[in-house]
Structure 1
């Protein structure tokens, strides 16, 4: 189905108000889910809405909970999300990291007891639009085997880096698995195979079949053993800095909740050389753009460039939404 941005935003806003969110919070939630879908990331946008509502109904997400600061160490703070909505908690902690960065040059907020933040790039964009660089990451439930193992013991721990730039912000948003599980489910909804191996099947063979990978959630780490190690250290950092739950602790729950996240922002204006920064960024991007692609139909992109182009196209033509997902949302609206 092709649906306009305005229609998605309106339907989601009314849905969240119906589930007793304040108008301000409903507006934020609707905006984030819609913006992710507009950028072509339906896997962490519109497709996640039914599951988000399910977690509210089960009491996993506390509608009225507010993230609060529990410790402060100069430019470093610890916050507790009190099991509130991940989007609202992450937005608040990103804003706080931005404020700390503008005060100290760099700010770090470590958050515990929160829920899924949906698309991590949302908060990288938020920082970049405030003229801050950012490094953000979260742990998750176990959904990848450590390299050489059979069972999932590590998370695909999404990792975000953003850098503000006049000609288009650079925003890296990646899971430590070859494909995020939202993206794998996206392929499943479309009835398509993954373009590359994305995890293991029941026979311990690498597979590109979404159903076979999702059956036990055994994703393939990026870089094989290197991605496995990176997942572990991100989990360690998020857990230690927030004094929160590790992937091990999260695994004891039936539903992924109580996760730990880190929000680091850097204010580049402290160097007073913004023109040089832009020049250096353009130099790097121009150098990587100016390479002959292996496939003549391909183009080389910097992180965030493709999403920006998708946004422009979807604003003009409307947004593709999976029909079964939209039907679920409409049923929830009429429930």
Structure 2
């Protein structure tokens, strides 16, 4: 089914107000979930709303709590999320990292005790809209085996890099699993197999069956052993910089909460060579675009380009949404 962005935003706003969020928080939450769905990332947009509200109901997400600064070291700060809503806290911290970058050339905010920030690219776009380069990452509950192991001990730790560009921001937003688990569940919801193996089944065989992968949550690291190593290092960095929970500690909890995140922003204006920067970016993008695709009719994209095109299309045509998910949203609204 197709839903307009305005319709989704209105329904979600009323739903979050019903769950006792302030009007400002309800507005930000509904806007963020809708924008992720507009970009075609339903797995971290509309599909996640029921689970987010479950976390509100079981107390994992504290609706009145907000991130607060606990330590400051010039252009580097530590914040505590106090188990508040992940989107609210992450938005506050990316805006603070941008502010630090504007004042110092570079700013870093390390956040502990947060909840899921949903789509990491949201915060890369906020930084890019403000004219900043960003490098962002978060740890997660254990959902991938370290390379060669049987059981999950590492997280798929999403990693984001954004670069501002007038013709369209470059925004890399990737989990360190071949498929984010939200995406795996999206395929499961639609009754489809993954296009490539995405994890291991109960017999320790690589599989593209979402049902088999989600039974034990053993995702496949990107780049196999390389993705495994990168996951471990990002967990170390997020934990150390935030003085927060590691993937190990998060895995001891009943629900995925109390995660650690890093927001690093750089203001490229400090170099005073914007024309050169624009020319260098265009050179790389033009060179990447100008290659023959393996399949006739295919197009080559830079990171974030397809999301921008999907957003434009969905604004015009409406967003494709799972009927069962939308019915669940409406049922929560009328409960």
TM-score range, shorter chain: over 0.9
- Alignment partner, residue 288 of structure 2: 288
| 1:234-253 matches, cutoff 5 A | 234-253=234-253
- Alignment partner, residue 49 of structure 1: 49
Moved >3 Å (runs of 4+): none
Q: Distance in 2 between matches of 1:224 and 1:245?
A: 25
Q: Distance in 2 between matches of 1:36 and 1:326?
A: 15
CA deviation string 1:4-23 (max 9, x = no partner): 11100000000000001110
Q: Distance in 2 between matches of 1:24 and 1:274?
A: 35
SS of residue matched to 1:127? helix
User: 1:296: how far off?
Assistant: 1.0
- Alignment partner, residue 311 of structure 2: 311
CA deviation string 1:73-92 (max 9, x = no partner): 01000000000000000000
Q: Distance in 2 between matches of 1:89 and 1:322?
A: 28
SS of residue matched to 2:108? strand
| 1:63-142 matches, cutoff 5 A | 63-142=63-142
Q: Distance in 2 between matches of 1:286 and 1:327?
A: 44
Q: Distance in 2 between matches of 1:246 and 1:32?
A: 26
SS of residue matched to 1:51? helix
Q: Distance in 1 between matches of 2:259 and 2:311?
A: 30
User: 1:213: how far off?
Assistant: 0.3
RMSD, matched Cα = 0.4
- Alignment partner, residue 331 of structure 2: 331
| 1:236-275 matches, cutoff 5 A | 236-275=236-275
CA deviation string 1:272-307 (max 9, x = no partner): 111110100000000010011111121100000000
CA deviation string 1:191-236 (max 9, x = no partner): 1100000000000000000000001000000000000000000000
TM-score by length of 2: 1.00
- Alignment partner, residue 224 of structure 1: 224
User: 1:181: how far off?
Assistant: 0.2
Q: Distance in 2 between matches of 1:74 and 1:47?
A: 39
Q: Distance in 2 between matches of 1:274 and 1:231?
A: 34
SS of residue matched to 1:325? helix
Q: Distance in 2 between matches of 1:177 and 1:299?
A: 24
SS of residue matched to 1:215? helix
User: 1:64: how far off?
Assistant: 0.1
User: 1:116: how far off?
Assistant: 0.1
Q: Distance in 2 between matches of 1:58 and 1:167?
A: 44
- Alignment partner, residue 58 of structure 1: 58
Q: Distance in 1 between matches of 2:20 and 2:190?
A: 32
- Alignment partner, residue 233 of structure 2: 233
CA deviation string 1:48-85 (max 9, x = no partner): 00000000000000000010000000100000000000
TM-score by length of 1: 1.00
- Alignment partner, residue 24 of structure 1: 24
User: 1:35: how far off?
Assistant: 0.2
| 1:159-238 matches, cutoff 5 A | 159-238=159-238
